[in-house]
Amino acid sequence: MRLERLWNGWRAQYVQGDTKKNDSGKSVFTEILESDMKDEESHIVHRGAHSFVILNAFPYSPGHLLVLPYREVAELEDLTTEENNEIWSTVTFGVQVLKAEYGPQGINVGINMGASAGGSIAQHLHVHIVPRWGGDTNFMVAIANTKILPEALDVTAERVRSAWKTLEAQNIQRGK
């Protein structure tokens, strides 16, 4: 029997649990925002007045976006009216971007509030937008506990950024 290798080195941080370790007490999102990282390095694909969009560092599928407020807030009801309005309009636009760029057969949109609900970074509310395709959960997940992602995060970020700008420009031309 020949041993097959599937390189997925960027997941080492996740498997080792490093995503939750944080000496500052701030969320990883806040640390990214306060760092000197360029959007291309951090995989931020869009910035609004009250919220931003970043790729999930450990995506379920290519194009897995997170929409979140700049302000570190854990609960949906603690958002300001402006944050709430912008987040949900950004989620809607993010869905349109993913449909235009990736043509998924379905999309999951959701929030995990609190660690018990599955929120891995519970202190900073974020909305997941996950493009889905028939068969994207297959034997590798069920038997080998392995996900296969066919696209690097840098490539995904550039595709989403480009599609976002194109769709915004089209909407401006249409007067939307």
Which residues does the annotation mark as catalytic?
Answer: 126
Identify any residues that bridge with 51 across adjacent strands, giving them in sequence order.
69
Phi, psi of 26 (to 5 degrees): -95, 155
Please answer whether residues 129 and 95 qualify as being in contact, where contact means their C-beta atoms are separated by less than 8 angstroms.
yes
Identify any residues that bridge with 150 across adjacent strands, giving them in sequence order.
none
Phi, psi of 67 (to 5 degrees): -110, 125
List, as one string, the DSSP characters of 52-119.
EEEE-SS-SSTT-EEEEESS----GGGS-HHHHHHHHHHHHHHHHHHHHHH--SEEEEE---SGGGT-
Token pair for residue 169?
């420009």
